[in-house]
Amino acid sequence: MTLAELSPGETGTITQLNGKDTLSNRFRELGLLDGVMVRMIKQAPFNGPVEIKVRNSYLSIRRVDAQKIILES
């Protein structure tokens, strides 16, 4: 399952970050690391960005980038 597939209110634990090295590094800088739990807060319509909660921070990321973050429920 990817981060983009979560519904608002659902949580998952990051197991893998896909994408180019620069994107993976940026994810890590934002605190998106293996083993970290994330919660989907809301999704913008028409394939817009998603808002997630990671630890005590709220992040908005592009949906295409959220599709590169693999989770387990």
The pLDDT, as a whole number, for residue 62 is 95
Structure tokens at 12: 């998952």
What are the backbone angles phi and psi of residue 8, rounded to the nearest 5°?
A: -55, 130
CATH fit for domain 3-72, picks 3.30.470.20, 3.40.50.2300, 2.20.28.120, 2.30.30.90: 2.30.30.90
> Which residues, in sequence order, are bridge partners of residue 12?
38
pLDDT, tens digit, 9 for 90 and up, residues 9-49: 999 999 999 988 899 999 999 999 999 999 999 999 999 99
Instruction: Find residue 70's DSSP bridge partners.
Output: 2, 16
Model-level pTM?
0.90
Give per-residue pLDDT as tens, 53-71: 999 999 999 999 999 999 9
The confidence band for 50, taking pLDDT boundaries of 50, 70 and 90, is very high
For residue 28 the two structure tokens come to 């890590």
Question: What is the identity of the amino acid at 50?
Answer: V
- Tell me: pLDDT of 73 over 90: no
All residues at 6 or more sequence positions from 43 whose CB lies less than 8 Å from its CB, including other chains: 8, 50, 51, 63
C-beta of residue 11 within 8 angstroms of C-beta of residue 43: no
